[in-house]
């Protein structure tokens, strides 16, 4: 019951592993009567050779070292062969767990099957440079359902790609309605990647900053607060995060039924 298996070593898996470790060893350490959360076993599994494959290798290594320092078991190079009610099987070895968290990506929507067009192995529709479907200029596919290639590599399924591709498709449609000249092919503006491992450690990979550690966490926090609406929201989040870092506390607590069935009659 206290073994947690996270499948996928991308930003989602790394952040989940770090959050679970912090909760087990700090936030909820003294919240239970019958169990010790500090004895929790957290296993991060990925089929690739390292975590955070989309990040520079030196930053990924630092993130992995931080996770291992926190007690997370990182198993790389072997895919998960089976997931069932008893846990997972990796490289023929059973890891018993009642909580398996899938962070290795999802299947795209069946839009490609509806349209009967070419897709990649994840089901994403291979679109043209203007994000329209081949032989169907009236149909556009954007976001996680679109396979968009740039410089010979597919763009990642992240929010910024979805936002920018959606805005671009809207611009193409607007130009067609106005009978204006078509815009140039879609070009993704990479604002960088960030992954937070703990409350004091994050990985930042951008054109302006490449670092892992506390400086990365400050950069991560600054950008997240910057994009919040209203000064009041920014102040509240800044104060809450500062309090959590200083006191090593989170707003997470255990809710339990005080009317125990084992109570003496």
- Tell me, yes or no, if 15 is annotated catalytic: yes
Give 7's contacts (C-beta < 8 A, 6+ positions apart): 13, 45, 46, 80, 83, 88, 100, 101, 102, 103, 104
Q: Sign of torsion, CA 181 186 192 193?
A: positive
Q: What is the spatial distance between Cα 52 and Cα 246, in angstroms, rounded to a whole number? A: 28
DSSP 174: H
> What tens-digit pLDDT sequence spans the chain (265 residues)?
999 999 999 999 999 999 999 989 988 888 888 899 999 999 999 999 999 998 999 999 999 999 999 999 999 999 999 999 999 999 999 999 999 999 998 778 899 989 999 999 889 999 999 999 999 999 999 999 999 999 888 898 888 899 999 999 999 999 999 999 999 999 999 888 889 998 889 999 988 889 999 999 888 888 888 888 888 888 888 888 887 777 766 665 666 666 656 555 4
Q: What is the spatial distance between Cα 167 and Cα 188, in angstroms, rounded to a whole number? A: 11
Domains of the chain are: 3-105+193-247 (3.50.50.100), 111-177 (3.50.50.60)
Q: What is the pTM of this model?
A: 0.80
């Amino acid at each position: 019951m206290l073994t947690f298996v996270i499948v996928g070593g991308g930003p989602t898996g790394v952040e989940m592993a770090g959050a679970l470790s912090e909760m087990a060893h700090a936030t909820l350490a003294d919240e239970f009567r019958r169990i010790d959360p500090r004895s929790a076993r957290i296993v991060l599994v990925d089929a690739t050779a390292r975590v955070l494959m989309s990040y520079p290798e030196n930053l990924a290594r630092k993130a992995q070292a931080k996770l291992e320092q926190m007690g997370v078991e990182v198993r790389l190079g072997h895919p998960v062969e089976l997931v069932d009610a008893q846990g997972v099987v990796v490289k023929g070895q059973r890891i018993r767990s009642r909580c398996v968290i899938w962070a290795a990506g999802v299947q795209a929507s069946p839009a490609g099957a509806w349209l009967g067009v070419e897709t990649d192995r994840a089901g994403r529709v291979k679109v043209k440079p203007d994000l329209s479907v081949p032989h169907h200029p009236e149909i556009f596919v954007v976001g996680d359902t679109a396979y968009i290639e740039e410089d010979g590599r597919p763009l990642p399924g992240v929010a910024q790609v979805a936002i920018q591709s959606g805005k671009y498709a809207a611009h193409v449609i607007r130009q067609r309605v106005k009978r204006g000249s078509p815009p140039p092919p879609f070009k993704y503006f990479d604002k960088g990647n960030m992954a937070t491992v703990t409350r004091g450690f994050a990985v930042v990979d951008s054109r302006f900053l490449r670092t892992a550690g506390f400086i990365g966490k400050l950069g991560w926090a600054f950008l997240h607060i910057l994009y919040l609406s209203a000064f009041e929201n920014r102040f509240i989040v800044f104060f809450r995060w500062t309090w959590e870092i200083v006191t090593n506390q989170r707003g997470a607590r255990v809710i339990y039924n005080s009317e125990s069935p084992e109570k003496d009659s």
